[in-house]
Amino acid sequence: MYDVKSKKATEFIDDGEIQATLQYAIEHKADFPLIDQILEKAATYKGLSHREAMVLLECEDPAYIEKIFQLAMEIKQRNYGNRIVMFAPLYLSNYCVNGCRYCPYHAKNKHIARRQLSQEEIVQEVLALQDMGHKRLALETGEDPVRCPIDYVLESIKTIYSIKHKNGAIRRVNVNIAATTVENYRKLKEAGIGTYILFQETYNKEAYEYLHPTGPKSDYAYHTEAMDRAMEGGIDDVGCGVLFGLNLYKYDFVGLLIHAEHLEAVYNCGPHTISVPRICPADDIDPAEYSNAISDEIFEKIVAVLRVAVPYTGMIISTRESQRSREKVLRLGVSQISGASRTSVGGYAEGAPEEDSSQFEVSDNRTLDEVVNWLLELGYIPSFCTACYREGRTGDRFMSLVKTGQIANCCQPNALMTLKEYLEDYASPDTKAKGEAMIQQTIPLIPNEKVRRLTLEHLKAMEQEGVRDFRF
Ligand code: SF4
Ligand code: SF4
């Protein structure tokens, strides 16, 4: 029985409610008066219910799809402006006791190189990342309670935050590790993590159990209730996602929205981010075996409808996607992207070939400078901002700032100041010229006079006195 406030996985992700929603959407996909009403509601930036969102996703009328895309772009612009936040994944360990069928780190894969970084090796990785200009990381590990216990993760976080190299620093560590206990989530919170990220992979219980035949992750309820435990452990910024292509995308789309509604109903705080990965090639994984793989067109529609339905949530896309695909979805709602990613353990420092231990093949292989340059060309402000959680803007406090559109007042100047740091310390001459031009043309657009004046002062101090890490 569907109960948005239940803490039981099969009640807040209720199969009956998802099936009824899919049926409702089919019946109303050409109900244009209803679709007009849904779009009017979405235009007030208040978001949509999963049923309303599914009607939009099901709609096949080209003129209405274009309206949805336009609205998605408008909402994105209002909430986030034209900044795109940059991050990089850091793989610490690929030992894994689980049997996930779609991931080459599954326990039975005997020919992939297994590695776990020592603290000294982590230092080398972080130095390489800092030398590129990164300020925000997402830690990734396989699940192995013996080889990769929580204490190892906590020690690694401490190591990462302690490294100050030239003008560099990692200022926000997000963590993507297996579902764990309330006590461990509390420890992660105390270690100063940003967002706790955990992909559901698929919300369909039957498909989930087929895809996860062995290991602790095979427990659907324990995995699905992980965000509740994270919230109970004090982590109020959580990141959700599904791996599109594992199961029927419409089912997972509804599941994702129902999960967001559950978190909001129970904790007054929906997901801080939603990631939209698609299944892609990897060692011993062939996406052709997954008949549910989705086309670029459907992928774009998913991103646009998510943007319209959950306007307060940051949306993340990784280097699994090609440059072309990334370019399209940036317009439609994605607000955070990875750059120059290595998806192997030890991939950033020398001596760890990607093919030996990577989790998936990267489609976008450009350097960070090339990605920053490309974003500037497209008219975006690449941002290395990490201000919110450092200023205590997390959880429901953060949500209310996004819902009212006020966060853009912080995002825009912070984007300019962190871009300036990047230009001063890491950029190629061409990127620097483009970045400076972007800063000059954007400063007059900062609406608040005081913020504008302070931004100018900080930019000057960075350039002339070498000061770093200003933020609003
Ligand atoms: S998806 Fe995660 S849990 Fe599953 S095999 Fe890969 S690393 Fe292990
Ligand atoms: S101000 Fe907050 S929401 Fe905006 S980019 Fe910085 S950390 Fe993200």
pLDDT given at position 166: 95
Start-to-end C-alpha separation, the chain: 45
Pairing state of beta strands 314-317 and 381-383?
unpaired
Task: Establish whether residue 98 lines the binding site of ligand 1, counting it when its CB lies within 6 angstroms of any ligand atom.
Answer: yes
- Give dist(CA 440, CA 425) in Å, integer: 18
| pLDDT tens for each residue of 77-110 | 999 899 999 999 999 999 999 999 999 999 999 9
**In this structure, are residues 243 and 103 in contact, taking their beta carbons and an 8 Å threshold?**
no
DSSP assignment of 154-166: HHHHHHHHH-EET
- Give dist(CA 428, CA 326) in Å, integer: 22
**CA geometry: angle at 180 spanning 302 and 341, to 5°?**
50
pLDDT band at 271; cut points 50, 70, 90: very high
**In this structure, are residues 307 and 75 in contact, taking their beta carbons and an 8 Å threshold?**
yes
Task: Please state, rounded to an integer, the average pLDDT across all residues of the chain.
Answer: 95
- The Å distance, Cα 380 to ligand 2 centre, comes to 15
Q: How far is CA 447 from CA 35, 429, 452, in A?
A: 34, 30, 7
pLDDT given at position 292: 85
Assign domain 77-389 to its CATH architecture. Answer: Alpha-Beta Barrel (3.20)
pLDDT given at position 451: 96
* Ligand 1 atom nearest to 201, measured from its CA: 1
- Give dist(CA 253, CA 112) in Å, integer: 32
Task: Establish whether residue 176 lines the binding site of ligand 1, counting it when its CB lies within 6 angstroms of any ligand atom.
Answer: no
* Ligand 1 atom nearest to 178, measured from its CA: 3
Nearest to 376 by CA among 414, 336, 433, 338: 433
- The Å distance, Cα 210 to ligand 1 centre, comes to 14
pLDDT given at position 293: 85
- Give dist(CA 242, CA 258) in Å, integer: 13
- The predicted model gives 286-298 an average pLDDT of 85
**In this structure, are residues 89 and 318 in contact, taking their beta carbons and an 8 Å threshold?**
yes
pLDDT band at 360; cut points 50, 70, 90: confident
| pLDDT tens for each residue of 313-337 | 999 998 888 889 999 999 999 999 9
Task: Establish whether residue 102 lines the binding site of ligand 1, counting it when its CB lies within 6 angstroms of any ligand atom.
Answer: no
pLDDT given at position 355: 62
pLDDT band at 29; cut points 50, 70, 90: very high
* Ligand 2 atom nearest to 410, measured from its CA: 1
What residues does each domain of the chain span?
Answer: 77-389, 405-465
Instruction: Assign 90 to helix, strand or coil.
Output: strand
